[in-house]
Amino acid sequence: MTEKSTQRLASGFVHAVVFAVVAFSVLALWAVALPALAQTSALETVGSVSGLPTDNIAIIIARIIRQFLMVIGILFTVLIVYAGFLYLTARGEPDPVKKAKKIFQQSIIGLVIIFSAYGIATFILDRLLDAAFSGSTSATADAYSEPLSGSLGGGILDDHYPERNATDIPRNTRIFVSFKEAMNPASLIEGYVDDTTSTDLDIQSVLIYPTAEGSGSALAQDEVVVTYDDAFEIFVFDPVEYLGSAEEDTNYTVVLTTDIEKADGSAAFSGSYADGYAWTFEVSTEIDLTPPTVTSVVPIQDADEPRNVTIEVNFSEAMDPVAGTGAYDAVLGELFTNLSAFDEAGANIEGTWEIGNAYRTIDFTTTDACSEDPCGDTIYCLPGNETISVTAKAATLNEDEVPQGEPTGVTFDGLVDAASNSLDGDGDGDACGSSSDTVDCADGDEDDDYDWSFTTTDEIEDTVPQVESVNPGLGEDEISQTNDLTVTFNTYLKSSTVDSSSVSLWPDPWYEMWFAVRKSSTGGATQVAIEHPTFVSTADGGWDYWPVLTQDVKSTYQICMYPAIGPDSCTESRSSLYPYCCEGTPSASACTTDSGEALPDNSD
């Protein structure tokens, strides 16, 4: 290649870049104007009928610009390398040195123009996205995002009660908040540092107030009693006086501020959710005096089950998580007895009771390790070949306010709901309290504990749970903006593993969006529902949403979802070499979005 031809090539590339950027920019501006003339172009109509891609023409042009600049950048890099080679091999001779410098100079000028062109192309791409989505990406996100909401699901919060925007909440309700890891109780309870028995609210961390009156009317520290579970992950805020009024419904706001800390002293709210969390609910004029009931149990009465089955109790309403969770461990002195499992000899089986599913389900896992699941996690077993008895204990009653439970210290000696009503174990509408109470019941029952039994085998069930169906379907368009997303499994799932860490929902492009996870089980199957705010409408661009199920989802037999088996190509015959199921297709690596964004590890 001669000196002049090489210089002409470098100079020609410079001119080509300038021309290409100008030409594509003009074409892109023409494309931007099209959406203003018609809601749906002829190309989009043909594409939707034919099944061909229907990306906006403006976006396609912007992608071409980026690809073109990438190719030109590679060519200029090659020229710089070539110039360097000539310079190093010139051995001091003036002509080759001069030629190398000229090529190098032209290439540097070209690269400067490329970087400038890339900035122009990026600016144009942003404007094209604005036009394609009937407004800027940020403006669309702002229209659908609920401020201070994303920590629920995507951040530190797993759940809370009352739910976001809940209505008809009784005046005597208490407020539950579940974090995904241990919190520093001193950041939620005033005076905890000096006195660990303190129950006063830290009003710098938690504000509870009538929405219309503003934060200046927030409940004072001695107007809320704060309790918590043994793990410091669930906190209950109990207003001393009833909320609202007897004359009219009252909207309340709860704010969790940035003063709340994790157990290690770091901020609970960080990153994209660093401003904290807030939600509202509406309090009715009524007082709740309806006791909760047991709606179903796993295993059912007189069932024969493998010994690695998880015991589960489902309730008619949200239950107090502090009174309903705990561990029985004689060695450690943890003697939680509001729920108990007994072997044939009548000994209390050691293990832990955990709450989930909007505080409506409590499950039990023993401490007896007996095997491993496909993920390498420990499986725990009940005694084999024995009859196991289970008791859900009703709380002692407050005789002046039946069916309200009588607190024992700051909690209860049995199960109560969010309004402190004691368990109605026989479901007759009366709360008779525990067997130690003296309250006379209309039906003459001695107590309202709930008891049942089942038999274990010596087997260990190891079937991997699989997804049978999803709604909306894979890649489905024009879905409801408000309906819950649902996933149906072929078996019962362990409730405490179905939470916002193992089941999640992500918008693409990302914006602050909350989600909450619920489950229901019937006929040997479990349906998982993901609640969410209103999705971006089709008119505003119809963004993508990615539901994700990780291998932390486990069956009631404690078996993880590995490999992930689901609809379409992710069938039972899959090899464990492809443990992931990504939009119905087996994959050897973790799933990503269409734009290449990483989804949580072990995703389905």
Mean pLDDT over residues 250-257, rounded? 98
Mean pLDDT over residues 24-34, rounded? 47
Mean pLDDT over residues 169-173, rounded? 98
| Residue 239 and residue 387 in one domain | no
The whole domain housing 475 covers: 467-587
Question: Of 441 and 580, which is predicted with more confidence?
Answer: 580
Domain boundary, last residue among 406, 424, 458? 458
| Residue 500 and residue 534 in one domain | yes
Q: How far apart are CA 234 and CA 177, in angstroms?
A: 6
Is residue 507 one of the residues assigned to a domain? Answer: yes
User: Interior CA angle at 107 toward 105 and 112, to 5°?
Assistant: 100
Q: Model confidence over 220-229: pLDDT tens digits?
A: 999 999 999 9
Question: Of 25 and 218, which is predicted with more confidence?
Answer: 218
| Residue 377 and residue 262 in one domain | no
| Residue 295 and residue 382 in one domain | yes
| Residue 447 and residue 531 in one domain | no
| Residue 276 and residue 294 in one domain | no
Let me know: does 392 contact 449? Beta carbons within 8 Å.
Answer: yes
Is residue 40 one of the residues assigned to a domain? Answer: yes
Is residue 138 one of the residues assigned to a domain? Answer: no
Here the tokens at position 356 are 């989930």
**Nearest partner of 425 among 471, 399, 391, judged by Cα:** 391
Residue 217: predicted pLDDT: 97
| Residue 313 and residue 448 in one domain | yes
Sheet holding 200-201, edge to edge: 157-161, 175-179, 234-239, 224-228, 200-201, 189-190
| Residue 449 and residue 476 in one domain | no
| Residue 513 and residue 454 in one domain | no
Domain boundary, last residue among 426, 458, 490? 458
Residue 106: predicted pLDDT: 75
Number of domains in the chain: 4
Domain boundary, last residue among 241, 257, 283? 283
Here the tokens at position 433 are 């309290």
| Residue 320 and residue 448 in one domain | yes
| Residue 442 and residue 499 in one domain | no
Q: How far apart are CA 29 and CA 158, in angstroms?
A: 45
Q: Model confidence over 302-346: pLDDT tens digits?
A: 999 999 999 999 999 999 999 999 999 988 889 999 999 999 999
| Residue 159 and residue 78 in one domain | no
When mean pLDDT is compared across 64-68, 195-199, 319-323, 420-424, the lowest value belongs to 64-68
Three-class SS state of 366:
strand
Is residue 193 one of the residues assigned to a domain? Answer: yes
Q: How far apart are CA 164 and CA 166, in angstroms?
A: 5
Burial 415-433 (b: 16+ CB within 10 A, else e): bbbbbbbbbbbbeeebbbb
Quick one: pLDDT band at residue 191, thresholds 50, 70, 90? very high
Distances (CA, A) of 414 to 203, 322, 424: 29, 10, 11
Is residue 369 one of the residues assigned to a domain? Answer: yes
Is residue 601 one of the residues assigned to a domain? Answer: no
Is residue 191 one of the residues assigned to a domain? Answer: yes
Is residue 602 one of the residues assigned to a domain? Answer: no
User: Residue 317 belongs to what H/E stretch?
Assistant: none
Mean pLDDT over residues 351-370, rounded? 97
Reported as half-sphere exposure (CB side, CA atoms, 13 A), residue 28 has a value of 28
CATH number at residue 304: 2.60.40.1220
